[in-house]
Amino acid sequence: MAAPHQVPDMSVSDRTRIRPSKKTSLPFLDLKAQFASIREDVLKAVESVFESQQFILGKEVQLLEQEIASFLSVPEAIGCASGSDALYLSLLALHIGRGNEVITTPFTFVATAGAIARTGAKPVFVDIDPATYNIEPSLIEAAITDKTRAIIPVHLFGLAADLDPILEIANRHNLAVIEDAAQAIGATYRGRQVGGIGLCGCFSFFPSKNLGCAGDGGLVTTTDAKVADELRLLRAHGSRKKYHYEILGTNSRLDTLHAAVLRVKLPHLQSWAHRRAEHAAFYKTLFEGTGLATILRLPSIPAGRTHVYNQFVIRAPRRDNLRAFLDTEGIPTDVYYPSPLHVQPAFSYLGYEHASFPEAGKASREALALPIYPELSRQDQERVVTSISDFYTSNLA
């Protein structure tokens, strides 16, 4: 006989009715909604490239380069095959390679340090500012040696790194500044577009970036006409004239089809960024309403900068438990980045210890990216925040 305090077994359907084991999931990023809003223009642009049967460089790429240069207020923009190659080609164009060192952050996508290493130069890491996740300028000078040639600040998640002190240090030590703006197209620093402030700026058109193409694509900007000329050579086998090779280059062109798609999307970029920022503000209001703003750390934007929210990243205690709980609630999240680059096997040869960059380590244990995209609804944002609140106010945490 069952003990009196035991409740009778519920059938599976009863349990489902009371507490669904998996609710309908909202998307982490809704690119289908974006496509639906520009479908006709995209298909027309793609069709016209097919009609021309001109798939390599050409007018579409040239026009996109001009339009982006004008959007960023830079003299030169050069399309290439990816954001990773944008970084790699920039370094090659500045003749950085074996025997050189390049300073960057360990809290970034692998491509930043990977591009440095691919040239034969040595990546030298500097810890981050915990409030912005970006390289901490006051730590840079201690990392400079007589081999240092450049600094690559990353504008992580869509927020500009603190460029003024970085440019000042770079000028004093005669170093190039290459901005990794892969996540930050449209963000500003003291009124200027990021990726147009250093000697070179690198962009990615990977589909999940704020300006995404239909595959891989990238672009480099530069303020220096000679560097621009070298970049154009490097992306096309070092060749200006057919079958004449001035320098050793590679094949890293931006495809005509991608340029055509990007030219349809570029005019929407500002309004999409504006909507992302509105959603970020609404998240903030909701978190403050629940009292969670004291437990969590929300994105903070220093004066003089704008954030384009490629990611909306909070810091959360017991992050991995929270993430698992949200998953059962149908709320997708992501972790950028679960381990900093200095602890990755690919960079073990650099000889860093786990504790070398404590702030990057801490960020990798606490950071959690919530859904953010222009088409995100207020109801879905409320659902995200309510679930996070449930986690911390119940004994689930």
Ligand X SMILES: *Cc1c(COP(=O)(O)O)cnc(C)c1O
Between the alpha carbon of residue 176 and those of residues 130, 143, 163, 169, 171, the distances in Å are 25, 15, 12, 10, 8
> Distance (Å, rounded) from C-alpha 267 to C-alpha 284?
28
The yes or no reply on residue 182 touching ligand X (CB under 6 A) is yes
Choose among 195, 204, 186, 181: nearest CA to 258: 204
The Cα angle at residue 117 between residues 116 and 122, in degrees rounded to 5: 85
> Distance (Å, rounded) from C-alpha 261 to C-alpha 61?
10
The yes or no reply on residue 83 touching ligand X (CB under 6 A) is yes
For the record, the structure tokens of 180 come out as 């990794």
For the record, the structure tokens of 96 come out as 């950085």
Nearest distance, CB of residue 155 and ligand X, angstroms:
8
- Closer to ligand X by CB, 336 or 391: give it: 336
- Closer to ligand X by CB, 129 or 216: give it: 216
- Closer to ligand X by CB, 105 or 148: give it: 105
Output the CA torsion sign for 54, 57, 60, 62: negative
Nearest distance, CB of residue 82 and ligand X, angstroms:
4
Site for ligand X in 7-46 (CB under 6 A): none
- Closer to ligand X by CB, 114 or 391: give it: 114
Q: What is the number of the residue whose Cβ is closest to ligand X?
A: 83
3-class SS of residue 154: strand
> Distance (Å, rounded) from C-alpha 131 to C-alpha 120?
32
- Closer to ligand X by CB, 152 or 331: give it: 152
The yes or no reply on residue 82 touching ligand X (CB under 6 A) is yes
- Closer to ligand X by CB, 89 or 144: give it: 89
Q: In sequence order, which residues have a C-beta less than 8 Å from that of residue 394 and are 6 or more positions away?
A: none
- Closer to ligand X by CB, 148 or 311: give it: 311
The residue within the footprint of ligand X, chosen from 88, 107, 125, 206 (CB under 6 A), is 206
The yes or no reply on residue 183 touching ligand X (CB under 6 A) is yes
- Of 1-9, 120-128, 180-188, 189-197, the window that binds ligand X (rule: CB under 6 A) is 180-188
The yes or no reply on residue 134 touching ligand X (CB under 6 A) is no
The residue within the footprint of ligand X, chosen from 104, 105, 193, 204 (CB under 6 A), is 204
Is the preceding omega at residue 337 within 30 degrees of 0, hence cis?
Answer: yes
Nearest distance, CB of residue 187 and ligand X, angstroms:
13
The residue within the footprint of ligand X, chosen from 104, 108, 252, 256 (CB under 6 A), is 108
CA dihedral of 66, 67, 68, 70, whole degrees rounded to 10: 80
Site for ligand X in 135-154 (CB under 6 A): 154
Q: Which residues bind ligand X (CB under 6 A)?
A: 82-84, 108-109, 111-112, 154, 180, 182-183, 204, 206, 216, 218
